Amino acid sequence: MIRTACGFTSLLLSLSLSAAEILSIAVESEEGVYTMTSEVWFDASVEQSFEVYRHWDYSTQFSNAIVESRDMEADEQGRAQFYIRNKGCVMFFCQSFERQGYIELEKNTVLRAFANPETSDFHISNESWQFKAHDGGTIVTYDLTMKPKFWIPPGIGPYMIKRKLKKNGGNAVDRIEVIMQGIGSE
Protein backbone atom coordinates (compact mmCIF):
# COMPACT_ATOMS: atom_id res chain seq x y z
CA MET A 1 0.00 0.00 0.00
CA ILE A 2 2.78 2.44 0.91
CA ARG A 3 4.75 1.44 -2.21
CA THR A 4 1.68 2.12 -4.38
CA ALA A 5 1.13 5.53 -2.74
CA CYS A 6 4.81 6.43 -3.22
CA GLY A 7 4.69 5.33 -6.88
CA PHE A 8 1.54 7.35 -7.48
CA THR A 9 3.07 10.39 -5.76
CA SER A 10 6.22 10.04 -7.91
CA LEU A 11 4.11 9.93 -11.06
CA LEU A 12 2.17 13.04 -10.02
CA LEU A 13 5.38 14.89 -9.19
CA SER A 14 6.96 13.95 -12.52
CA LEU A 15 3.86 15.16 -14.35
CA SER A 16 3.77 18.43 -12.43
CA LEU A 17 7.51 19.05 -12.89
CA SER A 18 7.28 18.41 -16.61
CA ALA A 19 8.56 21.38 -18.55
CA ALA A 20 7.43 20.54 -22.08
CA GLU A 21 6.53 23.71 -23.90
CA ILE A 22 4.69 24.15 -27.19
CA LEU A 23 6.63 26.84 -29.02
CA SER A 24 4.36 26.98 -32.07
CA ILE A 25 1.54 25.10 -33.71
CA ALA A 26 -0.23 25.77 -37.00
CA VAL A 27 -2.95 23.73 -38.67
CA GLU A 28 -4.26 24.47 -42.16
CA SER A 29 -6.63 22.79 -44.60
CA GLU A 30 -7.14 23.27 -48.29
CA GLU A 31 -9.22 21.12 -50.62
CA GLY A 32 -9.28 18.17 -48.21
CA VAL A 33 -5.54 18.23 -47.44
CA TYR A 34 -4.62 19.01 -43.83
CA THR A 35 -1.20 20.23 -42.76
CA MET A 36 0.16 20.73 -39.29
CA THR A 37 3.50 22.09 -38.16
CA SER A 38 4.56 22.36 -34.55
CA GLU A 39 7.64 22.95 -32.47
CA VAL A 40 7.87 21.64 -28.93
CA TRP A 41 10.70 21.97 -26.43
CA PHE A 42 11.17 18.91 -24.20
CA ASP A 43 13.24 18.67 -21.03
CA ALA A 44 14.95 15.56 -22.37
CA SER A 45 17.99 14.72 -24.47
CA VAL A 46 17.87 14.33 -28.24
CA GLU A 47 18.52 10.59 -27.76
CA GLN A 48 15.61 10.20 -25.31
CA SER A 49 13.31 12.21 -27.58
CA PHE A 50 14.23 10.27 -30.70
CA GLU A 51 13.70 6.91 -28.94
CA VAL A 52 10.12 7.79 -27.95
CA TYR A 53 9.13 8.87 -31.43
CA ARG A 54 10.85 6.04 -33.29
CA HIS A 55 9.00 3.34 -31.33
CA TRP A 56 5.35 3.33 -32.37
CA ASP A 57 4.51 1.12 -29.38
CA TYR A 58 4.69 4.24 -27.14
CA SER A 59 1.97 6.09 -29.07
CA THR A 60 -0.98 4.71 -27.11
CA GLN A 61 0.62 5.97 -23.89
CA PHE A 62 0.53 9.62 -24.92
CA SER A 63 -2.45 9.97 -27.24
CA ASN A 64 -6.03 9.09 -26.34
CA ALA A 65 -6.87 9.14 -30.05
CA ILE A 66 -4.52 6.22 -30.75
CA VAL A 67 -6.18 2.99 -29.67
CA GLU A 68 -3.62 0.61 -31.17
CA SER A 69 -0.06 1.07 -32.44
CA ARG A 70 2.93 -1.12 -33.04
CA ASP A 71 6.25 -1.49 -34.76
CA MET A 72 6.12 -4.05 -37.55
CA GLU A 73 8.62 -6.24 -39.39
CA ALA A 74 10.72 -4.54 -42.05
CA ASP A 75 9.40 -4.66 -45.61
CA GLU A 76 11.15 -6.38 -48.53
CA GLN A 77 13.28 -3.24 -48.99
CA GLY A 78 14.45 -3.42 -45.36
CA ARG A 79 12.45 -0.36 -44.21
CA ALA A 80 10.95 -0.40 -40.73
CA GLN A 81 7.14 -0.57 -40.76
CA PHE A 82 4.45 0.83 -38.45
CA TYR A 83 0.73 0.34 -37.80
CA ILE A 84 -1.63 2.76 -36.02
CA ARG A 85 -5.37 2.65 -35.45
CA ASN A 86 -6.98 5.91 -34.33
CA LYS A 87 -10.47 6.68 -33.17
CA GLY A 88 -11.73 10.21 -33.20
CA CYS A 89 -15.00 12.03 -32.87
CA VAL A 90 -16.02 15.36 -34.29
CA MET A 91 -19.11 16.30 -32.29
CA PHE A 92 -21.29 13.15 -32.57
CA PHE A 93 -19.62 11.86 -35.75
CA CYS A 94 -17.04 9.19 -34.81
CA GLN A 95 -14.58 7.47 -37.10
CA SER A 96 -11.98 4.75 -36.69
CA PHE A 97 -9.12 4.83 -39.17
CA GLU A 98 -5.87 3.02 -39.80
CA ARG A 99 -2.45 3.95 -41.08
CA GLN A 100 0.21 1.49 -42.06
CA GLY A 101 3.45 2.31 -43.79
CA TYR A 102 7.21 2.62 -43.64
CA ILE A 103 9.75 4.71 -41.77
CA GLU A 104 12.95 6.42 -42.84
CA LEU A 105 15.33 7.81 -40.25
CA GLU A 106 18.63 9.46 -39.56
CA LYS A 107 19.32 8.46 -35.96
CA ASN A 108 18.77 11.29 -33.46
CA THR A 109 18.25 13.79 -36.30
CA VAL A 110 15.13 13.11 -38.37
CA LEU A 111 12.34 10.55 -38.54
CA ARG A 112 9.87 10.30 -41.43
CA ALA A 113 6.76 8.11 -41.67
CA PHE A 114 4.85 7.49 -44.89
CA ALA A 115 1.46 5.77 -44.88
CA ASN A 116 0.79 3.34 -47.69
CA PRO A 117 -2.51 4.40 -49.32
CA GLU A 118 -3.25 0.76 -50.24
CA THR A 119 -3.28 -0.31 -46.57
CA SER A 120 -4.40 2.94 -44.94
CA ASP A 121 -7.51 5.07 -44.67
CA PHE A 122 -5.58 8.00 -46.15
CA HIS A 123 -4.64 9.00 -49.67
CA ILE A 124 -1.70 10.81 -48.04
CA SER A 125 -0.42 10.68 -44.48
CA ASN A 126 3.21 11.77 -44.29
CA GLU A 127 4.87 12.86 -41.07
CA SER A 128 8.33 14.04 -40.11
CA TRP A 129 10.02 14.85 -36.83
CA GLN A 130 13.30 16.76 -36.59
CA PHE A 131 15.33 16.71 -33.38
CA LYS A 132 17.67 19.49 -32.29
CA ALA A 133 19.42 20.06 -28.95
CA HIS A 134 18.47 23.43 -27.42
CA ASP A 135 18.79 24.97 -23.93
CA GLY A 136 19.57 21.69 -22.18
CA GLY A 137 16.67 19.90 -23.86
CA THR A 138 15.38 19.11 -27.33
CA ILE A 139 13.23 20.95 -29.84
CA VAL A 140 11.12 18.56 -31.88
CA THR A 141 9.73 20.03 -35.10
CA TYR A 142 6.77 18.04 -36.39
CA ASP A 143 5.26 18.27 -39.87
CA LEU A 144 2.13 16.40 -40.98
CA THR A 145 0.41 16.32 -44.36
CA MET A 146 -2.72 14.17 -44.61
CA LYS A 147 -5.63 13.65 -46.93
CA PRO A 148 -8.18 11.20 -45.52
CA LYS A 149 -10.15 8.77 -47.68
CA PHE A 150 -13.13 8.98 -45.32
CA TRP A 151 -15.90 11.54 -45.45
CA ILE A 152 -15.55 14.68 -43.33
CA PRO A 153 -18.68 16.75 -42.74
CA PRO A 154 -18.36 19.93 -44.83
CA GLY A 155 -18.35 23.29 -43.10
CA ILE A 156 -17.76 22.28 -39.50
CA GLY A 157 -15.54 19.23 -40.27
CA PRO A 158 -12.32 21.03 -41.24
CA TYR A 159 -12.66 23.43 -38.30
CA MET A 160 -13.19 20.56 -35.84
CA ILE A 161 -10.27 18.53 -37.23
CA LYS A 162 -7.95 21.51 -36.86
CA ARG A 163 -9.19 22.03 -33.31
CA LYS A 164 -8.72 18.32 -32.47
CA LEU A 165 -5.17 18.25 -33.88
CA LYS A 166 -4.21 21.26 -31.76
CA LYS A 167 -5.92 20.00 -28.61
CA ASN A 168 -4.58 16.43 -28.87
CA GLY A 169 -1.06 17.68 -29.51
CA GLY A 170 -1.22 20.01 -26.53
CA ASN A 171 -2.56 17.28 -24.26
CA ALA A 172 0.13 14.81 -25.31
CA VAL A 173 3.34 16.82 -24.84
CA ASP A 174 3.60 16.41 -21.07
CA ARG A 175 2.91 12.66 -21.30
CA ILE A 176 5.53 12.33 -24.06
CA GLU A 177 8.10 14.12 -21.91
CA VAL A 178 7.45 11.82 -18.93
CA ILE A 179 8.09 8.81 -21.19
CA MET A 180 11.27 10.46 -22.53
CA GLN A 181 12.59 11.10 -19.04
CA GLY A 182 11.81 7.51 -18.06
CA ILE A 183 14.00 6.23 -20.90
CA GLY A 184 17.02 7.95 -19.34
CA SER A 185 16.48 6.20 -16.02
CA GLU A 186 16.08 2.66 -17.39
As a whole number of Å, the CA-based R_g of the chain is 17
Phi, psi of 76 (to 5 degrees): -65, -20
Q: Say yes or no to pLDDT of 170 above 70.
A: no
| Three-state DSSP state, 59 | helix
Do 140 and 130 form a contact (C-beta atoms < 8 A)? yes
| Three-state DSSP state, 62 | helix
Tens of pLDDT along 78-133?
999 999 999 877 667 678 999 999 999 999 999 999 999 999 999 999 999 999 99
Q: What is the value of pTM for the model shown?
A: 0.81
Cα 177 to Cα 186: distance, rounded to the nearest angstrom: 15
Q: Say yes or no to pLDDT of 185 above 60.
A: no
Give the number of other CB atoms < 10 A from CB of residue 84: 23
Sign of torsion, CA 27 30 31 35? negative
Q: In percent, how much of the chain has pLDDT > 90? A: 52
Q: Say yes or no to pLDDT of 3 above 70.
A: no
No. of helices (H) and no. of strands (E), the chain: 4, 8
Domains of the chain: residue spans and CATH: 20-184 (3.30.530.20)
Cα 129 to Cα 96: distance, rounded to the nearest angstrom: 24
Label residue 147 exposed, middle or buried (CB < 10 Å: 0-12, 13-18, 19+).
middle
Tens of pLDDT along 56-72?
989 899 888 889 999 99
Contacts of residue 119, Cβ cutoff 8 Å, sequence gap at least 6? 98, 100, 101
